[in-house]
Amino acid sequence: MNRNRLFLASCVALVTTSMVFSIRGDILDALGADFHLNKEQLGQILSPAFWGFTLSIIVGGSMVDLFGMRRLLMLSGIGYVVAIMAVIFAPFPSGPVESIFTNGSCLILYAAMLTLGLSQGLVEGVINPLCSTLYPDNKTHRMNLLHAWWPGGLIIGGLLAYGITKVMGLDQGVDAATATLGWRIKLATILIAAVVYMVMISKEKFPATERVTAGVSNNQMFRDLLQPMFLILWFCMWLTSATELGTDQWVSSLVTNLTGMQGVLVLVYTAGIMFVMRFFGGPLAHKFSPFGLLTISAVLSAVGLYALGSISTTVGVFAAATIFGIGKTYFWPTMLGITSELFPKGGPVALAVMGGTGNLAIAFVIPIMGGWYDAGGAAATFKNVAVMPMVLIVLFLGLFLYFRSKGGYKAVELETS
């Protein structure tokens, strides 16, 4: 087993997943124009991607020990190829769409988004327990290093999208055929990353998961998920994910309509902040404790989001985005690191449930944000989302104080059977 190669392949698979996220966000307005959809309908079209992500990460995580990590990762790559080709070649409606569920073209788009979500979920369902198994003594730090490549993929996808926009002049009022070709080329770039990680894992040997190595039974694994602390974390995951990823999926369109600038640049900028700072996630979690770090993240996220809804200048937007970018950096990997450290008996299922919950939250919040967007505009949308990290401040601070009263945060260790 080549531990470094498996970790690198996991990073490339996560890059593919986040490229989908950033490029899909960049082409939303173009998709809406070609498929004659308003913002709320676009939210409905996007929603199955996150429902699929949720279903796939939970089911896939549960099947890791049964079917094997390599097979599930290969299946995710195939799903990316099929879904992207379906979106690229889907026919356009002839006019405005009354309901996406009665229009054949929109149903193809809906199914393709669902397939993308299923593929993304399989990636997360495999790489999280794989990382935990490869580095059992350094989970939170390694989770942050692995998930540094989520913003890494956002940067790659965002810059590719921006470059194609500039090269083709898509922001200069081009004809409809050129605009359509532009978003199709952007989507097609994701295929390259998917093929790369499939090739990397095709002949690699994968390890058994940590809980199998420790001899933890299926009953013990599922009982771990019923502990009160796990349920509290599960609730927190709803809010952390909606704050970070729900906003990210809309931010390109929101910022463009708020300031007139290319909003994808803000996504790339905040992703750059996350990419760099996640390399320091382990030391910061050690210094402040994981829940102390999450409390700080919630404070900064709330401030940054509210500021984004209050400022319309380019300089002001980047200043607010800096605060938000720093704030959202540690939500996802630290939540997964805590889950893996406090509930190791839960194995891949605990991580799958937590990751699936995060994506289920996005599936709910995406259309809600679209409705806010249609009703109140971009500024009101940012301010509404800011309420969620405000709630998280209270929850994470409470957990920080709870563990402090117990002598400090400590990871639970499993002995190999």
d(CA 392, CA 236): 7
Residue 407 lies in a domain: no
| Rounded mean pLDDT, 329-357 | 86
Q: Environment class of residue 167 by beta-carbon count within 10 Å: exposed (0-12), middle (13-18) or buried (19+)?
A: exposed
Average per-residue pLDDT for the chain? 86
Residue 67 lies in a domain: yes
Residue 90 lies in a domain: yes
Output the pTM of the full model: 0.77
The pLDDT of residue 279 is above 90: no
| pLDDT given at position 166 | 92
Confidence of residue 368 (pLDDT cuts 50, 70, 90): confident
For 146-197, how does the pLDDT look when each residue is reduced to its tens digit (9 = 90+)? 988 988 998 899 889 989 999 999 888 889 899 999 999 999 999 999 999 9
255 or 29, higher pLDDT: 29
Split into its structural domains, the chain has a count of: 1
| pLDDT given at position 178 | 94
Confidence of residue 415 (pLDDT cuts 50, 70, 90): low
Residues in Cβ contact with 102 at an 8 Å cutoff, skipping those fewer than 6 apart: none
What would the DSSP string read from start to end of 90-127? PPPPSS--S-GGG-HHHHHHHHHHHHHHHHHHHHHHHH
Residue 213 lies in a domain: no
- For residue 121, give the CATH number of its domain: 1.20.1250.20
Residues in Cβ contact with 385 at an 8 Å cutoff, skipping those fewer than 6 apart: 242, 243, 246, 247, 305, 365, 369
| pLDDT given at position 410 | 85
Torsion, CA 360, CA 361, CA 364, CA 365, rounded to 10: -150
Confidence of residue 89 (pLDDT cuts 50, 70, 90): very high
- Assign 203 to helix, strand or coil: coil
d(CA 145, CA 168): 35
Residues in Cβ contact with 222 at an 8 Å cutoff, skipping those fewer than 6 apart: 346, 349
Instruction: Show the domain range for 18.
Output: 3-202+221-400
| pLDDT given at position 110 | 93
Residue 41 lies in a domain: yes
Residue 411 lies in a domain: no
Residue 410 lies in a domain: no
| Rounded mean pLDDT, 71-88 | 95
Q: Which of 16-30, 55-69, 120-134 has the lowest mean pLDDT?
A: 55-69
| pLDDT given at position 278 | 85
Residue 414 lies in a domain: no
| pLDDT given at position 216 | 67
For 283, other C-beta atoms within 10 Å of its C-beta total 11
Residues in Cβ contact with 415 at an 8 Å cutoff, skipping those fewer than 6 apart: 214
d(CA 171, CA 165): 6
Confidence of residue 414 (pLDDT cuts 50, 70, 90): low
Helix (H) or strand (E) run with residue 337 in it? helix 331-342
- Assign 217 to helix, strand or coil: coil
| pLDDT given at position 187 | 95
310 or 187, higher pLDDT: 187
CB of 215 within 8 A of CB of 417? yes
Give the closest residue to 23 by CA, choosing from 239, 252, 222. Answer: 252
| pLDDT given at position 416 | 56
The pLDDT of residue 330 is above 60: yes
Q: Which of 73-77, 183-187, 376-380 has the lowest mean pLDDT?
A: 376-380
| pLDDT given at position 115 | 94
The pLDDT of residue 126 is above 60: yes
